[in-house]
Structure 1
Amino acid sequence: MITTISADGTEVRALDSGQGPTILVVHPGMDDGSSWQKVTAVLAREFRVLTVLRRQYRRDITKSAPASIADEVADIKALVESVGKPMLVVGHSSGAVVALEALAALPTSFIGGVLYEPPLRIDGPVGGAALLSAQAAIAAGKPGKAMQIFTRDMVGLPEWQAGLVRMFVGASPKMRRLAPRQMDDNTALEQLGLRLDLYEQIQAPVLLVGGNKSPAHLRRRLDVLARTLPRAERHVLRGQGHSANRRAAEPLARVIAEFHAATIQTGPGSGASSRGTTS
């Protein structure tokens, strides 16, 4: 574990494993950092891997209001400053939005980024009415119902899968604890608004990763981001959806390692632009 202090005095924590060039992982929602353990174990064979424990999901932090994306970027800023050298940032789902914002806010801190299906806003609200319904379910003490609404109406899972999520969350103390934080995370994404003009200014190379079995709206968001970022590449995870970190850890780690190697070879300031798609 590595710790440092963020700008507002909050302690920043990150899991620390391996040795070598540094990769920073920003984990997805409904998670405490553990969902990327398999990927980080593979990467740690040749890299130092820091997995920031996002304050949005930390039980030890008591708060009167949800953490904002800016709060989480400030935590990343403190962490990269404590390490003292540029690194590759890898973000997944809402964590990929945090990573994207960090790339924009801290241009000298990263050699590049890998973004796995960020649910960024591309037109209308990210959650809208569905988020309000899910928040109402949380307020009523029904985290399973809230997650059913979230996974069906915001993530885009079919009804039967969302029903299974409801049962799983209801039966898991850990998931019941995380569900309100997921709604806070969605609120933070909603409040962030449309940021494509800002992302047009990111000069670091970025690899956009998505599964060919993921919900269509996530692929559309990647399409928009690919057209927006000056130095974007695409990689399609064949046979995978939004959870390749759990189901295909070795291939996903290999994609990250290969992009790190290519980024080091070309250099973060080369100015080259790539908008191709690999698979």
Structure 2
Amino acid sequence: MDKRNMKYVTSKDGTKIAYDISGSGPVLINITGASVFRNFSPVLQAVKTFSQSFTMYNYDRRGRGNSSDTKPYSTEKEVDDIEALIDAAGGKANLYGHSSGAVLALETALKLGKKVEKVVIYDAPYVHNEAGKEKYKKLANKVLTLLSEGSNKRAMKTFLSGIGMPKFFVWLLPLSPGWKIMHTLAPTLAYDIELTKDFPPLERFKGIKTPTRIFVGSKSPENIRTVGPQIAEVVPNAVFEEIDGQDHMVSAKVLLPKFKTFFDK
């Protein structure tokens, strides 16, 4: 991994969080989803695009890449990690959360209030009905069992297949440059499962006062397209938009003009 521009912040529990800064403009912290790290090619491509208009803070979530980890895990600890980055950025920042990172962005806005200026989320992957919850529980049990056996590669493939990644994509993963690092991140799948195993906490999210934009892709899974409007309905300053033609792996070039319109206001 490229360490030339890497910096660290220390979270409340002593965990070291690695990050890079690029671009110029309003500060935007990039919160990634499951199975990726800050130097994963698609993440770097997205950050490069967003850096045209924003000062991007691109970081490794705990347990990934160059960041350390401190057990036991909790959502609150990941929010503390983001708060440490916000403080490093001057005490206020905007957030962009993708997939399980969207869950963290919402939780951070709820907890930190005015420290978070604005929030954009894309494809928050909560379960949306009882059948979906039961199906995800079975997938989670398979993944956690494989992790307990030390079968990281199988756990990663099982998770990605289970959440709907195309079979050809999962089959080709071992041939990709990022796979060598990607499968070592498998233990953090337990963290993403913890974040996304339940229905969205709509009653709690009524307390989010931060201006929020909630995006989903028109080709994203049903659960994502269902819960997005539900969240937007309860967050007081939220606006929902379904982006035509986009799936879970959204194009940063499509998002950038929407970001500029929202964050520049």
Select the residue among 248, 253, 262 that pairs with 1:250: 253
Structure 1 Cα separation of the partners of residues 127 and 205 of structure 2: 12
Give, in angstroms, the shift of residue 223 of structure 1: 2.1
Contact 1:40 1:253 in 2 (8 A): no
Give, in angstroms, the shift of residue 222 of structure 1: 0.7
Structure 1 Cα separation of the partners of residues 35 and 168 of structure 2: 17
Contact 2:103 2:124 in 1 (8 A): yes
Cα RMSD (Å): 2.5
Q: Is the aligned partner of 1:54 residue 2:57?
A: no
Structure 1 Cα separation of the partners of residues 167 and 144 of structure 2: 16
Contact 1:143 1:170 in 2 (8 A): no
- Residues matched between the structures, number: 253
Give, in angstroms, the shift of residue 170 of structure 1: 8.4
TM-score scaled by length of structure 1: 0.80
TM-score scaled by length of structure 2: 0.84
Deviations 1:27-53 (A, max 9, x none): 111111233222221222232111122
Structure 2 Cα separation of the partners of residues 115 and 235 of structure 1: 11
What's 1:108 paired with?
114
Give, in angstroms, the shift of residue 77 of structure 1: 1.0
User: Secondary structure of the equivalent of 2:214?
Assistant: strand
Deviations 1:222-266 (A, max 9, x none): 12212221121122222210001xxx22112222222112xx3xx
Structure 2 Cα separation of the partners of residues 9 and 140 of structure 1: 28
User: Secondary structure of the equivalent of 1:107?
Assistant: helix
Q: Is the aligned partner of 1:73 residue 2:79?
A: yes
Structure 2 Cα separation of the partners of residues 148 and 82 of structure 1: 35
Which consecutive segments of 4 or more residues in structure 1 shift more than 6 A? none
Give ranges in structure 2 of 5+ residues lacking alignment.
1-5
Aligned-pair identity (%): 25
Contact 1:169 1:175 in 2 (8 A): no
What's 2:144 paired with?
135
Contact 1:22 1:48 in 2 (8 A): yes
One-letter amino acid of the counterpart of residue 164, structure 2 = G
Select the residue among 182, 185, 192 that pairs with 1:175: 182
User: Secondary structure of the equivalent of 1:233?
Assistant: strand
What's 1:156 paired with?
164
Inter-CA distance 62–39: structure 2 relative to 1 (3 Å threshold): closer
Of 231-240 and 199-208, deviating more is 231-240
Give, in angstroms, the shift of residue 94 of structure 1: 0.7
Q: Is the aligned partner of 1:118 residue 2:118?
A: no
Contact 1:68 1:188 in 2 (8 A): no
Give, in angstroms, the shift of residue 144 of structure 1: 4.3
Give ranges in structure 1 of 5+ residues lacking alignment.
265-279
How do 1:184-223 residues align onto structure 2 when only pairs under 5 Å count?
184-190=191-197, 195-223=201-229
